[in-house]
Amino acid sequence: MTSFSTRAIHAGQEPDPTTGAVIPPLYQSTTYAQDGIGGLRNGYEYGRGTNPTRDSLQQQLAALEGGKHAFSFSSGLAAEDALIRGLLAPGDHIVLGNDAYGGTYRLINKVLGKWGITNTAVDMSDAAALAAAIAAGNTKMVWLETPSNPMMKISDIAAAAQAAHDAGALLVVDNTFASPYLQQPLALGADVVVHSTTKYIGGHSDAVGGAVILNDDAAAEEVGFIQFAVGAVSAPMEAWLTTRGLKTLAVRMDRHSATAMTVAKWLREQPAVEQVLYPGLEEHPGHDLAKAQMKDFGGMVSVSFKGGEAAARKVAESTRLFLLAESLGGVESLMNYPSEMTHASVKGTELAVPENLLRLSVGLEDGEDLIADLDQALGQL
């Protein structure tokens, strides 16, 4: 098998057979001419079912996560919804991290809860708590985010896979924060990987999307059926942009990781800072585990302030390069106040995020410029 960077550039990217165009064309067509009734050309019939641009992306995603099947959706949450509805039934139980992405919890708890899916949220980095939560219910799925959003907790993927499999459940890993370049959950024993491709995979903050990658043929058939029958597919333009972004994932992640480490180390020295949550720092409780199961530590850094909510809000509203915005994983640095932004939907629940916490998505700008920006913002406290 060729190396990651080579697969990123070539998997699913055959030159166009008609013209030799090096970049496979963007197929905006919703439908395909048939050679007589039922005479489909290469199986293409209608855009919700299949589209060559989406196929290219799906092949690229499967090749990069080391999976047999990949499905691309209109958003990360659409991917999660299709996965859960495809593989679970009313009465089934999901165990998920108590700091899972707020939208994932909202989907599982508030939307799928109405349709009979039950859930328990636990600290996934606590093996005993995970085992107890699995034992207590009719658990069919364990849902793991590592590093988690925004608390940057690291959980052991191989151990969680074992705990899930012992109970006959599947392990799903949300690999959005690490990306397949830094972490390969399927190789560590996970059954399914999900992504918000909106983030590092797309990488340029210009295409919302999601993905499910898995090996099992029967499970893939169920997910493929929901993708077709419900229809939350990625649009051709979004799939094309995501493919383009994905080709540079390796170089982007190396640079994101290096700059995030510099920013984390600088933040740690600032008197206003209470704690820096970055798995690359030796004092992070998940540092050794992250070192073992990740290639590098990624571009996400969370930071809490001694001055509480007021200090966090002031810094969030004072940076100039770090744009105050939802989302993450793009070339530009972003600043997020989770408690009122990405995680507002879990405010007041057991998944609530501390009010003195900011989450930084460290982009690809010059590290010194980013630190100067943070310095002037902290100077306003």
Ligand X SMILES: Cc1ncc(COP(=O)(O)O)c(C=O)c1O
Considering the candidates 99, 174, 191, 373, report the single residue annotated as catalytic: 174
Helix (H) or strand (E) holding 28: none
Whether residue 48 lies in the annotated active site: yes
Residue 352 or 381 with smaller CB distance to ligand X: 352
| C-alpha span between 287 and 278 (Å, rounded) | 8
Helix, strand, or coil here: 260?
helix
Binding mask 118-157 for ligand X (x = CB under 6 A): ---------------------------x---x--------
Residue 147 or 236 with smaller CB distance to ligand X: 147
Query: In angstroms, what is the minimal distance from the CB of 3 to ligand X?
Result: 26
The string of DSSP letters for 49-101 reads T--HHHHHHHHHHHHHHT-SEEEEESSHHHHHHHHHHHH--TT-EEEEETTS-
Q: Does 190 bind ligand X (CB under 6 A)?
A: no
**Which class for 259: exposed (0-12), middle (13-18), buried (19 or more C-beta within 10 A)?**
buried
The string of DSSP letters for 265-297 reads HHHHT-TTEEEEE-TTSTTSTTHHHHHHH-SS-
Helix (H) or strand (E) holding 139: strand 139-145
Q: Does 330 bind ligand X (CB under 6 A)?
A: no
Stretch that binds ligand X, among 60-68, 71-79, 212-220, 240-248 (CB under 6 A): 71-79
Residue 13 or 98 with smaller CB distance to ligand X: 98
Stretch that binds ligand X, among 35-43, 62-70, 75-83, 287-295 (CB under 6 A): 75-83
| C-alpha span between 199 and 298 (Å, rounded) | 12
> Please, what's the largest Cα pairwise distance for the chain?
74
Q: Does 198 bind ligand X (CB under 6 A)?
A: yes
| C-alpha span between 123 and 377 (Å, rounded) | 33
Exactly one of 147, 210, 236, 298 binds ligand X (CB under 6 A); that residue is 210
Q: Does 200 bind ligand X (CB under 6 A)?
A: no
Query: In angstroms, what is the minimal distance from the CB of 157 to ligand X?
Result: 15
Torsion of CA 269, 319, 338, 131, to 10 degrees: -30
Whether residue 140 lies in the annotated active site: no
Residue 77 or 88 with smaller CB distance to ligand X: 77
| C-alpha span between 110 and 124 (Å, rounded) | 21
Whether residue 181 lies in the annotated active site: no
Whether residue 174 lies in the annotated active site: yes
Stretch that binds ligand X, among 31-39, 98-106, 117-125, 133-141 (CB under 6 A): 98-106
- Residue ranges in contact with ligand X by CB under 6 A: 75-77, 101, 103-104, 145, 149, 174, 176-177, 196, 198, 208, 210, 342
Residues serving a catalytic function are 48, 101, 174, 199
